[in-house]
Amino acid sequence: MKIAVVGASGRMGQMLVRQIARTEGVSLAAASERPGSKALGKDAGEVAGIEANGVLIGDDSAAAIAAAQCVIDFTVPEATVAHAKVASDKGVAMVIGTTGLDPIQTKLIHDAAKKVPIMWAANMALGVNILLALVEKTAAMLDPSYDIEVLEMHHRHKIDAPSGTALALGRAAAAGRKVQLEEVWRKSRDGHTGARPTGEIGFATLRGGEEVGVHTVYFAAAGERLELNHRSFSRETYAAGAVKSAKWLEGRKPGLYGMKDVLGL
């Protein structure tokens, strides 16, 4: 399968180029970056710290997508939406890891998935996807006297908050309680907040250093506290999930899929 990587010199872009190089049955067809990027014109393999592969990083993402059977996109929301439109027009499957999309951008991804198969997940690590299932189950087993709080920490470069994974964990907890997340969430707290309402699902965000990603879901009651935690030590797990998803999409019908589908959870 021929894969295009957009955002090829980013933290995840480089990981993806390395993961494609060591995965059987896939090859890097094209690589792109935003106009003005220092990586333009460089060999994608060398930028990723492996041997040269002859694929030069260009600034024409549409041409890169058209040269592939699947595009993998871990970039920024505005770019991802534009890439999804190109992929749907050209009949190219897509794997999306980008987080922080607003409701209008999210709707545009749903529109694109009417024409091509798209796998979109806030976190492609196996452990996080197991955690999502555990959180939903735990929330269903505990009554609302257990206060649910989601804490996440990421590297200082991250531009969206709470993380996409934290929001997905909140959504899993809300599903376990059979409520809509948007009706019970408290995405941050500051100042004179008043006492915590029963049933709220709270979020707290830490940023610092080079932390790859930590997520903890707390179920706190008067006499006990249950914590479910995941920590990523390397972005390799995300890249492995993304390339596995690209292979899984081959021959699929148009539609929006998640890691649950890819992993059969």
Ligand X SMILES: O=C(O)C1=N[C@H](C(=O)O)C[C@H](O)C1
Ligand Y SMILES: NC(=O)C1=CN([C@@H]2O[C@H](COP(=O)(O)OP(=O)(O)OC[C@H]3O[C@@H](n4cnc5c(N)ncnc54)[C@H](O)[C@@H]3O)[C@@H](O)[C@H]2O)C=CC1
**What is the binding site for ligand Y (CB under 6 A)?**
6-7, 9-13, 32-34, 37, 61, 74-76, 79, 97-100, 121-124, 164, 238
DSSP the chain: -EEEEESTTSHHHHHHHHHHHTSTT-EEEEEE--TT-TTTTSBHHHHTTS---S-BEES-HHHHHHT-SEEEE-S-HHHHHHHHHHHHHHT-EEEE------HHHHHHHHHHTTTSEEEE-S---HHHHHHHHHHHHHHHHS-TTSEEEEEEEE-TT--SSS-HHHHHHHHHHHHHTTS-HHHHEE----SS--SPPTT-EEEEEEE-TT--EEEEEEEE-SS-EEEEEEEES-THHHHHHHHHHHHHHTTPPSEEE-HHHHHT-
Does 129 interact with ligand X (rule: CB under 6 A)?
A: no
Closest separation in Å from C-beta 134 to ligand Y: 18
* Beta bridge pairs of residue 207: 154
Does 14 interact with ligand X (rule: CB under 6 A)?
A: no
* Smaller CB separation from ligand X, 58 or 170: 170
DSSP 8-state secondary structure symbol assigned to residue 198 = T
* Smaller CB separation from ligand Y, 38 or 196: 38
Report what 170 binds from ligand X, ligand Y, none; CB cut-off 5-8 Å by kind. Answer: none
Does 58 interact with ligand X (rule: CB under 6 A)?
A: no
Closest separation in Å from C-beta 203 to ligand X: 12
Is 182 labeled as ligand-binding?
Answer: no
Give the x/- contact pattern for ligand X in 160-189, rule: CB under 6 A.
---xxx------------------------
Give the x/- contact pattern for ligand X in 208-237, rule: CB under 6 A.
-----x------------------------
Does 154 interact with ligand X (rule: CB under 6 A)?
A: yes
Number of residues that bind ligand X (CB under 6 A): 9
The tokens describing 190, both together, are: 């500051």
Catalytic machinery residues: 154, 158
Question: Which residue is closest to ligand Y by CB?
Answer: 10
Is 8 labeled as ligand-binding?
Answer: yes
Report what 154 binds from ligand X, ligand Y, none; CB cut-off 5-8 Å by kind. Answer: ligand X
